[in-house]
Amino acid sequence: MAECQETMLVPIGKVDPMVITWLKEDLPKILSIPVTKSPPLPLNPRHFFKERNQYLADGLLADLTTIIHDGNTLSLGITGADIYTAGLNFVFGIATTGSALISTFRLRPETYGMSPNPGLYRWRILTEAVHELGHAIGLPHCEYPGCVMFFSNSITDTDRKGPEFCFRCRRRIEWMGKLREG
């Protein structure tokens, strides 16, 4: 498979422009690839489940994969909507080969009774974006709790792991030739 040349950010529904700015600044520091922004997509009402007051992440991700781009671009959808997938009450994100989706809804410190903290919020967004993009290039979950590819069952897991790949996952990326050398 060809190496990835860029990541394209795709706002889905209402997304704080500061989130896009942060990701454009922070993702290249971790992934060593440029980041661009595409026009936004609407939140498709057919993926909204009123009884849950949530959107089905799988549907939003499927909408994202309809964006035409070359095979060297990773798509990262960003939404402020609360999302879930079958069998889980919520997810921070979801991915498939070449495309990923994150939700900022449960990443805000205020969601957990904390005071607003833009630095922590930015850290969580970056961590979940890198995690889902890792899946988009083919990485599985990692058993090391400090690795970005560790599964986040709660916000505590996200806060503990941070946005960096462990040595083993970084080596997998290099071996797969998925990302350009920085």
Span 87-105, mean pLDDT? 95
Q: Which helix (H) or strand (E) holds 22?
A: helix 17-31
Percent of the chain with pLDDT over 90: 84
Confidence check: pLDDT of 29 > 60:
yes
Q: pLDDT band for 156, please (50, 70, 90 cuts).
A: very high
pLDDT of 67 reads 77
Architecture of domain 6-139: 3-Layer(aba) Sandwich (3.40)
What band does 2 get if pLDDT is binned at 50, 70 and 90?
very low
Instruction: Provide the pLDDT for residue 182.
Output: 43
Q: What is the pLDDT of residues 34-83, one digit of tens each?
A: 999 999 999 999 999 999 999 999 999 999 887 766 678 899 999 999 99
Confidence grade of residue 1 (pLDDT, cut at 50, 70, 90): very low
Tell me how far apart the alpha carbons of residues 140 and 17 are, in angstroms, rounded to a whole number. 30
Catalytic residue (choose from 132, 143, 164, 174):
132
Whether residue 89 is predicted with pLDDT greater than 70 in this model: the reply is: yes
Q: Are strands 83-84 and 54-56 parallel, antiparallel or unpaired?
A: parallel
Q: What is the pLDDT of residue 100?
A: 96
33 compared with 128, residue with greater pLDDT: 128
- In the residue annotation, 132 being an active-site residue is answered as yes
For 100-125, the pLDDT digits (tens) are 999 999 999 999 999 999 999 999 99
Q: How many residues does the chain have?
A: 182
Report how far residue 5's alpha carbon sits from residue 135's, in angstroms, rounded to the nearest whole number: 16
Q: Name which of 84, 29, 28 is nearest 57 in CA terms.
A: 84
> Domain coordinates of the chain in residue numbers?
6-139
Mean pLDDT across the chain, nearest whole number?
A: 92
